[in-house]
Amino acid sequence: MSRIRLFFIIFIEGFCSLGAEVVALRQIIPHMGSSIVVTAPTIGFFLLALALGYHAGARIADNYLEVVARNFLIASLLIGVGLAGVGVDLIFTALNPPEVAYLVLIAGVLCPIAWLLGQTVPILSNLLHHERVGEASGQALYYSTLGSFLGSLSLSLLVMQWLGVAAAVALCALLLVVGYALLSRRGWVTAAAALSVAALTAGTNAWLRPEIETAYASYLVVPVRYDGAINGRALKNNSSYASLIDDSEPPRYARYLHHIRSLLVDELGFRDRRILVLGAGGFTLSHREPSNHYTYVDIDPAVRSIAERHFLHETARGDFIADDARRFVVRTDQRFAAVIVDVYGSHSSIPGHLVTREFWQATRRVLEPNGLLIANLILDSSLATPYSRNLLATIENTYGRCAVEVLQKKQVLANVVVTCRNGEPPEPASLFVDERNTADLDLARSR
């Protein structure tokens, strides 16, 4: 086999191995979120399996092309079906809790892919004829790493952005099928195996999953029934309900949306005010609400067109900026009367960089004096878990005492609307005790 063909096969290995990791990290988000405690172990397990693949490949002493061809074919099937959206959904639907499904996905799909493809460089290095072993291995590693570099960039910045996650899955699987065809010499058997895997990949990624996929999320509009709704429908973001709307007059929305709209428009009487919404959802906060000017910020550039075409069935009211919420509030020079924080990547999962004290401090800089921060949080209804208590404490460390309203008190998880004023930091609190009770004095100072 020519050196050019060998290096091309090694390039495919690098492209698809890191491509599988990028795809796996994206497919896990709807089920496990994108926090560092999920992404770091995923990367770690992938690298461990890759290292074990290197070790296994170094022990292969004959049938080099046949072994790599077999590995490519199996890896293409694992990527094309196992990392497809429908495959990942089936694993997380069938297994509970989600941590178990995550381990099955990693141990049963991602790690075998890394182990199989990791064998490629040490095996094919035996076929590279150089005067020095270091030269052969160095060139093989060069093309493998070059493939990994281009795979990570092209899949995340081009393929997923323009064609969707399913296209990235299919591209990796089909490239491995091409590599298998280049390596195998068995004529019609090779053609039949390659066509079978290609057909399974195409079918799994093109027809079996109805979601609209982007690089950031999977969207699906489904019919729902709730009190008084006419043709009720929900926009699901990463398998979680993000927005509700129907064809009633006036339309009915999610309860927390009604609550926030009533607060702004009815109780506070906002008119011709600038309102920033971090996390677009279905653009329902401004739906048929002409009293104020809304600016939506969402990391997914496609979310507005998806919401307008499939969910609202009309043009969304307000401006839209495709940007990370934290980056926007840090960099913008605009000021707003209210900031609405509704930034969920999946059910009850806020990206980790949008819960820290530094983020809440950044939201203050875009608020007008005495402006309002309103955060929609999904927490346990008793506010007793460490996450609930610490998140609320973090917000109040920045804003002082805030109003905290639990909207579904009978449910385990509830929408919790937190409302804070952008005023001067309050004095530290002190307790009223029998020995030194300052209640009357404090009451007089507060009038």
CATH of the domain at 13: 1.20.1250.20
Instruction: Answer yes or no: are the C-beta atoms of 114 and 43 closer than 8 Å.
Output: no
Which of 156, 187, 209 corresponds to the end of one domain? 209
Give residue 128's pLDDT band: very low, low, confident or very high (50, 70, 90).
confident
Rounded CA separation 188/148 (Å): 31
The last residue of a domain, from among 176, 209, 242 = 209
Decide if 239 is inside a domain: no
Question: Please, what's the b/e burial string for 34-61 (b: 16 or more CB within 10 A of its CB; e: otherwise)?
Answer: bbeebeeebeebbeebbeebeebbeeee
* Whether 53 and 166 share a structural domain: yes
184 and 313 in one domain?
A: no
Q: Is 146 or 96 the better-scoring residue by pLDDT?
A: 146
| Same domain, yes or no: 315 and 376 | yes
Identify the domain containing residue 37 by its residue range: 3-209
Claim to verify: residue 273 and residue 352 sit in the same structural domain: yes
pLDDT digits (tens, 9 = 90+) for 35-48: 888 899 999 999 99
| 434: its two tokens | 């029998």
What total number of domains does the chain contain? Answer: 2
| 308, 194: one domain | no
Report yes or no on 190 lying in a domain.
yes
Whether residue 331 is contained in a domain is answered as yes
pLDDT at 92 over 60: yes
The proportion of the chain whose per-residue pLDDT surpasses 90, expressed as a percent, equals: 63
- CA angle 172-174-180, nearest 5°? 110
- In terms of domains, do 173 and 300 share one? no
What's the DSSP call for residue 370? E
Q: Tell whether 235 is covered by a domain.
A: no
Q: What is the average pLDDT score of the chain?
A: 90
pLDDT at 376 (0 to 100):
94
Is the Cβ–Cβ distance between 353 and 359 less than 8 Å?
Answer: yes
Q: Which residues pair with 276 in a beta bridge?
A: 295, 339
Write down the residue that tokens 């004829």 correspond to: 129
Q: Are 321 and 296 in contact (CB under 8 A)?
A: yes
Q: Containing H/E element for 90?
A: helix 85-94
Do the domain assignments include residue 243?
A: no
CATH number at residue 300: 3.40.50.150
pLDDT band for position 131 (cuts 50, 70, 90): low
- Say yes or no to pLDDT of 162 above 90: no
Residues 282 and 380 occupy one common structural domain: yes
The answer, yes or no, to whether residue 209 has pLDDT greater than 70, is: no
Q: Is the pLDDT of residue 267 over 70?
A: yes
Amino acid in position 12: I
**Predicted structure pTM score:** 0.81
